[in-house]
Amino acid sequence: MKFGMFGFLRKPVHRLSVRVEKLAVWLRRAGGTDADGPGDEAAAAFHAYQELVENAHDVIYTHDLEGHFTSLNRAGEQITGYTRAEAAQMSVLQIVSPAYQDQIRGMIARQFADEAKTPCSLEILAKDGRKVMLEVSPRLVLKDGQAVGVQGIARDVTQRRHLEEQLAHAQRMEAIGHLAGGVAHDFNNLLTVVTGYSELVLRRLSAESPVRQEIEQIKKAGERATTLTRQLLAFSRKQMLQPRVLDLNAVLSDVEHLLRRLIGENIQLTMVLGPDLKRVKADPGQMEQIIMNLAVNARDAMPQGGMLTVGTANVVLDDDYANQHVDVKPGQYVMLAVSDTGIGMDDHTRSHIFEPFFTTKVKGKGTGMGLSTVYGIVKQSGGYVWVYSEPNQGSTFKIYLPRIDDPIETQDAANLAEELSAGVETVLLVEDEEAVRSLVCKVLRASGYTVLESLNPADALRIAREHPDPIHLLLTDVVMPQMSGREVANQVIVLRPSTKVLFISGYTDDAIVHHGVLDPKTAFLHKPFSPDALARKVREVLDNSSQ
């Protein structure tokens, strides 16, 4: 593994061991060979040696060839929790974690000869049960050329390892996110075709048609697949958000009755809503999705019933917290916590729970997308999510969203759908996926529009320059080879300033969004879309005088 930003922490502890050994050699020389023993200079040096050992931040110890401790410095007492007297009655094997027992036995059998050159890593169990990761540099102590014991220096690298694991996990999640986003983009193109043509065929079939049921099943399968790709986009932080300033307490109050129905009667729900809760900026629908997903996960972890606690609070994440959690910025946050009394998780499970399709449930009982969706929504909203869990001790998910001081935004009631008027305008279509392009042309021409079909961005710009009549709307995909939809739009607008623009995509892109939030006055239609949704959005953009 590459340690990246934490590489500076990986300084070999054996360098200190070398310095201590050099000092010990000097002490022996300073003591001379006289029978009367060491002089004043040697005594002073020996005192300095003791001070060095006692004040070292690393564990300095000795043990015999069977592994029984013979000395331990002050740092060793602090890190292990055992006093020197207690350590004197113990062996190395008594404090080393079970997973490292064989390694230690092998080192003792080899009398540490191979380990004297290179530091090794060991996990020990402190007196209070804490797991402590040590980087150890042992060396043989020789007398008359014969091994009589072992001297070692051990550095506590628990926090460093924790940060390294967090960094590796973040990098793995980022890589999986890029892959998931790309897959979702390709699938959304395919699903646009599947669901679009299914709907067009159903329009032409009578209710008694013998093939109608089969086509409806195709359409339903496409809709289920659409839900899956949306979850992938949520995880990869490529979905389109509609954030507004809101109160999480109000969101929880709105969904409380749904939560009680969702978790069942054998689980007790307790809501602990913090007073004077500050506001956050997030997509309210996505916040409800987070709450529901975490509640379902908690319910499934308590098959025999239990307690589910959902709470909120204003919190401050300080520098100490940020130093222990990768990517966290110190500041003021609003916390949403969801705790259960379920079966809990071990370290291995906890390290994978946010990955898409990872599940511990039996086949057919879960897609493995619930927690990955939570992860993606939180990260895309500028927040952080951490889980605390142990086997048979339940789990607690804590979500931190940045505090916002702006006033709460109200949402206007949606207008009732109105009958669409026939189109008479000219639309320039830029779509590199042939099947999607063919579907869009069919739908828009059936709605009365004149469609100028371009095969690629260069072809679209040629049409924009050469077409003799007005072009009322540019309808362009966002993600295309050679040139993005935003670049096409910018050049078309230079040629035809009055042309309006509608972007379509199954994948958000920095060309038109920032952190998943649409740029102001940018019209966007997410793939996959139905023929009706396409026709309505085109009409909406053409009728919008502000664009």
Domain boundary among 402, 418, 438: 402
If we measure between CA atoms, which residue out of 101, 117, 118, 116 comes closest to residue 149?
116
118 within a domain of the structure (yes/no): yes
Q: Which of 112, 129, 156 is a domain's end point?
A: 156
In this prediction, residues 39-48 reach a mean pLDDT of 69
Q: What is the pLDDT of residues 369-384, one digit of tens each?
A: 678 778 878 887 888 8
Q: Which has more confidence, 23 or 182?
A: 182
Confidence bin at 493 (pLDDT 50/70/90): very high
Q: Is residue 393 located within the same domain as residue 279?
A: yes
Kindly tell me if the per-residue pLDDT of 2 is higher than 60. no
Could you tell me what percent of the chain has a pLDDT over 90?
Answer: 21
The CA-CA-CA angle for residues 361, 364, 365, to 5°, reads 45
- Which pLDDT score, from 0 to 100, does residue 428 have? 96
Best-predicted range by mean pLDDT (149-153, 184-188, 222-226, 301-305): 301-305
- Tell me the pLDDT tens digit for each residue of 396-411: 999 999 999 888 765 5
Whether 251 and 378 map to the same domain: the answer is yes
Q: What is the DSSP string of 11-23?
A: --THHHHHHHHHH
Average of per-residue pLDDT values in the chain: 78
Whether the per-residue pLDDT at 467 is higher than 50: the answer is yes
Average pLDDT (144-152) is: 82
| Band of pLDDT at residue 314, cut at 50, 70 and 90 | very high
pLDDT at 304 over 70: yes
Q: What percentage of the chain carries pLDDT values higher than 70?
A: 74
The total domain count for the chain is 3
Backbone phi and psi for residue 524, each to the nearest 5 degrees, phi listed first: -145, 140
Question: Contact, 49 vs 71, CB < 8 A?
Answer: no
In a shared domain, residues 372 and 257: yes
Residue 233 lies in a domain: no
User: What pLDDT digit, counting tens, does each position of 201-238 carry?
Assistant: 888 888 788 888 888 888 778 777 766 666 555 554 45
In a shared domain, residues 305 and 430? no
Write down the pLDDT at residue 34: 46
What's the CATH code of the domain at 285?
3.30.565.10
- Whole-model pTM: value is 0.47
pLDDT tens, residue by residue, 68-83: 888 889 888 988 899 9
pLDDT of residue 515: 42
In this structure, are 398 and 252 located in the same domain? yes
| For residue 295, pLDDT beyond 50 | yes
Same-domain pairing of 72 and 144: yes
Query: For residue 462, is pLDDT > 90?
Result: yes
Residues 98-147 have pLDDT tens digits of: 888 888 787 777 666 555 556 788 888 989 888 888 888 888 888 887 88
Please list, residue by residue across 25-46, b when 16 or more beta carbons sit within 10 angstroms of its beta carbon and e when fewer do: eebeebbeeeeeebeeebeebb
Residue 296's domain spans which residues? 244-402
Between 472 and 352, where is the model more confident? 472
CATH code at 113?
A: 3.30.450.20
Instruction: Decide which of 460 and 225 is more confident.
Output: 460
pLDDT digits (tens, 9 = 90+) for 512-538: 444 444 565 778 888 778 888 899 899
Domain assignment of residue 317, yes or no: yes
In a domain, 203, yes or no: no
Q: pLDDT value at position 171?
A: 66
Q: Which residue has the tokens 């204003």?
A: 314
Instruction: Give the per-residue pLDDT at 449.
Output: 94
> Does the pLDDT value for residue 27 go beyond 60?
no
Count how many residues are written for the chain: 547
> Do β-strands 473-477 and 517-518 pair in parallel, antiparallel, or remain unpaired?
unpaired
Residue 410, domain member (yes or no) = no
Query: Quick one: 535 and 442 in the same domain?
Result: yes
| Confidence at 311, pLDDT banded by 50, 70, 90 | very high
